[in-house]
Amino acid sequence: MSSIAIERPVTGTVRDRHVSDFKELTKRVQEAGLLKRSYTYYWSKIIGLTFGGLALATAFVLIGNSWWQMALAVGLALLMTQVAFLGHDAAHRQIFVSGKWNEWISLILINLFVGMGHGWWQRKHTKHHQVPNKVGADPDIGGRVLAFTPEGYASRKNPLTRWLATQQGRFFFPLLLLEGVNLHVQGIKGVLSRGKVKRRWVELSFIAFRLGSYFALVFIILPPGKAAAFIGIQLAVFGLYMGSSFAPNHIGMPLVPPTAKIDFLRRQVLMSRNITGGRAVDTFMGGLNFQVEHHLFPSMSRPNLRKVAPIVRAHCEALGVKYTETTLMQSYRVVIAYLNRVGRGGLDVWACPLAAQYRV
């Protein structure tokens, strides 16, 4: 992850030009009709995933005390990740015009179906969208376990944590096996926090019902050993899938120093990475493979992201703004190499190959 080491003076003329850059793009997108909702797509997703969950629950009861249930645990993890992607879309108001409809669908999907914390995640994710990869501001690069920035590496004071940082690229994917547990724990901590939490009791009731009924069913059908294995596999695969889908989006892309001033279009495009591939990649990543377009138009319906990508790419090329896209496997190699580089103290925040380009 290189960094944009600039503090670009913003005059009225420059600001007007940069604002018009995004306005012009938005006008093209509106004229193409790509800001319209995709109700058929989303209702089919909601209904299909709901029936998929019911089918898995029925199969779980019918299979009973068997190690074949471990395969079902993997299937449940994959299904829950797809539901989480759908909850992400609702939280971004991609599904309905009505803000309330989006909010309630997101609460149902994230809290009731997945058992995660909606409010905690949305606050964190909204901040990330406002300042992607900005040092000291983007919560996604302020992790305590992994060092995503030189500041994060410097904060490791004792020899053990310093050594672990040097190996963090190797540990990244194994650590994702614990991310499912972490997401649930952070969600519960968020809804129980002392600060103001919108719809606290709704979230708490949904999460308690989801997790309580899930654990009860698993331990009723399976003996303790198999039940623990089922839950462990489900959470591990869920965490790995979630992390593998979000990691390629920004890790290894330019960092933004706290003092940098960057206009909206460049802030979103330069710090985001698209993943190439066909419809299978769209489904696997829940539309997150079009990260550039998602950051520019966060409320755009998922099916329209593939359609708008050529417009955005051409617009960026005309402006001379670097538009990054790569394969999924290549993005993982970049992520691992970047984390190793940061963990070994090899990243210079102020040396950025894009800085000169951005000044121009």
Mean pLDDT check: name the lowest of 8-12, 77-81, 230-234. 8-12
The confidence score (pLDDT) of residue 13 equals: 55
Which residues, other chains included, contact 110 with Cβ-Cβ below 8 Å and sequence gap of 6+?
84, 87, 91, 116, 117, 118, 121
Q: What is the mean pLDDT of the chain?
A: 90
Residue 34 has pLDDT above 50, yes or no: yes
The confidence score (pLDDT) of residue 312 equals: 97
The confidence score (pLDDT) of residue 6 equals: 37
pLDDT digits (tens, 9 = 90+) for 133-173: 999 899 999 877 888 888 888 887 778 878 888 889 999 99
Residue 54 has pLDDT above 50, yes or no: yes
Angle at 327 between CA 322 and CA 254, to 5 degrees: 35
Residue 353 has pLDDT above 50, yes or no: no
Residue 18 has pLDDT above 90, yes or no: no
The confidence score (pLDDT) of residue 14 equals: 53
The confidence score (pLDDT) of residue 345 equals: 77
User: What's the pLDDT band for 16 if we cut at 50, 70, 90?
Assistant: low
**Which candidate, 253, 285, 281, places its Cα nearest to that of 268?**
253
Rg of the chain over all Cα atoms, to the nearest angstrom: 21
Average pLDDT over residues 45-51: 97
Whether 134 and 260 have beta carbons less than 8 Å apart is answered as yes
The confidence score (pLDDT) of residue 228 equals: 98
How many alpha carbons lie under 13 Å from residue 248 in its C-beta half-sphere?
A: 29
Q: What is the reported pTM?
A: 0.89
The confidence score (pLDDT) of residue 20 equals: 85
The confidence score (pLDDT) of residue 270 equals: 96
Torsion region of 156: left, alpha or beta (phi above 0 gives left; psi -120 to 50 gives alpha): beta
pLDDT digits (tens, 9 = 90+) for 179-212: 999 999 999 999 998 888 889 999 999 999 999 9
Residue 85 has pLDDT above 60, yes or no: yes
pLDDT digits (tens, 9 = 90+) for 204-228: 999 999 999 999 999 999 999 999 9
Phi, psi for 192 (deg, rounded to 5): -95, 0
The confidence score (pLDDT) of residue 1 equals: 54
The confidence score (pLDDT) of residue 143 equals: 73
User: What's the pLDDT band for 59 if we cut at 50, 70, 90?
Assistant: very high
% residues pLDDT > 70 (the chain): 91
The confidence score (pLDDT) of residue 117 equals: 93
Average pLDDT over residues 59-80: 97
Residue 278 has pLDDT above 80, yes or no: yes
